Amino acid sequence: MYIKKTISGYDRSGEQIARRQLFLILMQRGLDFKDKEIRAIVRKVAMRQFGQFMMGFARVKGERITLSGSYGSDGLPKTVSDKVFNEGFPLPDDLRERWNKGGGWNGAGSEANAMREWALANLDKLYRVRK
């Protein structure tokens, strides 16, 4: 999800676009996200419409990660490699609980503002680009 205001609009063919801006990505290692740690990272991401989805990509440690919608996986954590996961910063338990109960479906839920505030307050940890 974008954590700062971004320029969005439509391209010549009428498809929606969002310009490159800071994007909060939630990550997990495996497919069973309920029992696993969630980490977060921020990268600059541009998105554009593909069918009914807004999609883009980010690069972390040389890996290209395809993203879709809020948090990178339509409101859910994006499954990533260990190398990428290890670059992330742990999501606090209270935010994880708010996300779990936020009611988002294919997008961010009622936790969105708290998530954005946390990401901006911790931007120095979330948006560090290591070679």
DSSP 3-state of 126:
helix
- Angstrom distance (rounded) from CA 46 to CA 11: 13
Q: Which residue has the higher pLDDT, 63 or 52?
A: 63
pLDDT band of 131, cuts 50, 70, 90: very low
Ramachandran category for residue 104: left, alpha or beta (phi over 0 → left; psi -120 to 50 → alpha): beta
- Angstrom distance (rounded) from CA 117 to CA 123: 10
Are the C-beta atoms of 16 and 10 separated by less than 8 Å? yes
pLDDT score of 130 more than 70: no
Query: What's the DSSP call for residue 4?
Result: S
Q: Going by DSSP bridges, is the β-strand pair 16-28/78-79 parallel, antiparallel, or unpaired?
A: parallel
Question: What is the pTM assigned to this prediction?
Answer: 0.86
pLDDT band of 31, cuts 50, 70, 90: low
- Amino acid symbol at 45: V
DSSP 3-state of 27:
strand
Domain ranges of the chain: 8-126
DSSP 3-state of 112:
helix
- Angstrom distance (rounded) from CA 99 to CA 53: 21
pLDDT band of 50, cuts 50, 70, 90: confident
